């Protein structure tokens, strides 16, 4: 089922990239984006995890580099029946974490230095349990592919914005001019929004499932509740420079939450933290 969802996602993002290419560069632009999209589908399947980790400024650590973190990941992975993922650290004081990779055998979890300082051991276990559930449910490939394509779409939209500013594409009588200035404006406004909606559809239901799985793996849903409260607070009061619109859906809490306005929050890639906490408290009550 997840393979079907991944295939549908790749086709949808490919169509969106081609459409934006057509708006910016007409038939030639669409053709170029078709070739680019085919290459990206292949490339993102094999290398999207590396791209996302590099975009986030993460560096791999070993058991010697971060013994406590590495042992905690190993213990939780064993509890979840998963192979040991690679472990990465992002140097920022803003607490957050994400998982990536194409399957459980080729997975990685990344945490910030801030999350290791801000959370208690049990809380960090809850967060890592959440991320390992993403690995177990094979959400990570879909999220990584979405991040790769969203980055490309945003880059193309930025190109369209500069083209509109400097007056390119104003003529509508040449097929290579795309949609003219209107097409450029549509590309600038609609393309990033469409990419966000796709990320939203991918992320929200998976976050609830990962919270539930994280509560089971760590054995204490209330520890994850406490972790979410802390991470959410920091996300609304500090900026995480390593995060971007292309990768925001991958983190346990949207790292750009502090930049949201009330309207933009309708398109948040994550469910409301209060709703997630309420579900975890129900889970804790049932486990008790």
Active site (catalytic) residues: 131
Cβ neighbours of residue 253 closer than 8 Å, sequence gap 6 or more = 96, 228, 231, 232, 235, 270, 273
Distance (Å, rounded) from C-alpha 202 to C-alpha 247? 12
Cβ neighbours of residue 156 closer than 8 Å, sequence gap 6 or more = 17, 20, 21, 24, 33, 187, 191
Measuring CA to CA, which residue among 172, 208, 210 is closest to residue 80? Answer: 210
Distance (Å, rounded) from C-alpha 270 to C-alpha 257? 9
211 in Cβ contact with 131 (< 8 Å): no
Per DSSP, what are the bridge partners of residue 115?
none
């Amino acid at each position: 089922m997840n393979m079907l969802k991944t295939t549908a996602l790749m086709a949808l993002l490919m169509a969106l990239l081609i459409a934006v290419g057509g708006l910016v560069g007409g038939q030639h632009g669409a053709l170029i984006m078709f070739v680019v999209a085919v290459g990206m589908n292949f490339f993102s399947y094999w290398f999207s995890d590396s791209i996302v980790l590099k975009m986030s400024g993460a560096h791999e650590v070993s058991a010697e580099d971060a013994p406590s973190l590495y042992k905690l990941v190993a213990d939780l992975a064993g509890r979840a029946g998963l192979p040991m993922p690679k472990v990465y650290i992002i140097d920022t004081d803003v607490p957050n974490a994400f998982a990536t990779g194409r399957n459980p055998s080729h997975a990685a979890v990344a945490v910030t230095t801030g999350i290791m300082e801000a959370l208690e051991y049990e809380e960090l276990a809850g967060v890592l349990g959440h991320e390992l559930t993403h690995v177990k449910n094979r959400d990570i490939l879909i999220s990584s592919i979405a991040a790769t394509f969203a980055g490309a779409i945003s880059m193309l939209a930025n190109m369209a914005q500069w083209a509109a500013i400097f007056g390119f594409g104003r003529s509508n009588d040449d097929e290579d001019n795309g949609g003219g200035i209107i097409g450029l404006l549509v590309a600038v406004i609609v393309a990033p929004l469409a990419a966000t909606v796709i990320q939203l559809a991918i992320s929200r239901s998976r976050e609830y499932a990962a919270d539930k799985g994280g509560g089971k793996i760590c054995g204490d849903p209330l520890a994850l509740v406490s972790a979410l409260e802390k991470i959410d607070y920091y996300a609304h009061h500090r900026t995480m420079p390593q995060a971007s619109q292309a990768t925001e859906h991958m983190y346990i809490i949207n790292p750009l939450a502090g930049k949201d306005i009330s309207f933009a929050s309708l398109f948040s890639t994550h469910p409301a933290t209060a709703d997630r906490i309420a579900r975890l408290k129900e889970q804790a009550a049932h486990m008790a």
